[in-house]
Amino acid sequence: ETGVTQTPRHLVMGMTNKKSLKCEQHLGHNAMYWYKQSAKKPLELMFVYNFKEQTENNSVPSRFSPECPNSSHLFLHLHTLQPEDSALYLCASSQDPGTGQPQHFGDGTRLSIL
Amino acid sequence: SQQGEEDPQALSIQEGENATMNCSYKTSINNLQWYRQNSGRGLVHLILIRSNEREKHSGRLRVTLDTSKKSSSLLITASRAADTASYFCATDHSGGSNYKLTFGKGTLLTVNP
């Protein structure tokens, strides 16, 4: 399944670095999501974009800054991260921002903060 | 918390056996979905069951939903080594146009050849 592509797959960065995660979906979907997956914790929803507009910010610290230039692309800009931000960051998309839509996930970016 | 909770946390079976995983949740839902995640990969949608449905089948998968008990089960029949993965239930509690899923911690299934 290559409908949702995330780059890079792995990222190691220092706490003072600035980096960006990229997500691209080739499914013609209108809604995109960022999730954080940490060991032994449920998947945490971070941001939701519907038709390029942010509709949900799940109390995410400002050191994470999302950007959605169009319905196919989603970025997560990172700066001044903390060690507890080390996790797998997953991007997902769904056809429409309506009830009952399965979400399609990318393979994630494994982020390690030194 | 609205999130679903899977049970058991880990399950180890032999190839050919059936695997049953359970999910409980706390508030009313629009639908419940099951996903699979192979190690190092993203989640893959398996099946969706709506709140007015009681049972659904897809290949070797059977999902049941009991809204009175706020619980669901996923049955994988005749398991294969390739079924080894983490399985998550996700509940949809959305209202209006604000659609989002709430995931549990997952069940790690190991199918031994």
Task: Give the number of beta-carbon pairs within 8 Å between A and B.
Answer: 64
Query: Is residue B70 very low, low, confident or very high in pLDDT (cuts 50, 70, 90)?
Result: very high
A-chain residue closest to B104, CA distance:
A42
**Which DSSP helix (H) or strand (E) runs through A18?**
strand A18-25
3-state secondary structure of A85: helix
Between chains, do A97 and B97 touch, taking CB under 8 Å as contact? yes
Q: A46 and A58 in contact (C-beta within 8 Å)?
A: yes
Average pLDDT of every residue of chain B: 91
Residues of A in contact with B44 (CB under 8 A): 1, 105
Per-residue pLDDT, B99: 66
Three-state DSSP at A45 gives: strand
Contact with chain B for residue A69, Cβ under 8 A: no
* Confidence at B27, pLDDT banded by 50, 70, 90: confident
- CA gap A71, A21 in Å, rounded: 16
pLDDT, position A70: 92
Taking a C-beta distance cutoff of 8 angstroms, is the pair A106, B40 a contact?
no
Decide: A41 and B105 in contact? Cβ < 8 Å.
Answer: yes
Band (pLDDT 50/70/90 cuts) for residue A56 is: confident
Cβ-Cβ contacts under 8 Å, A98 against chain B: 97, 99
Max mean pLDDT among A5-14, B5-14, B26-35 falls in A5-14
Identify the closest residue of chain B to A100 by CA–CA distance: B31
Task: Give me the mean pLDDT over the B84-106 stretch.
Answer: 83
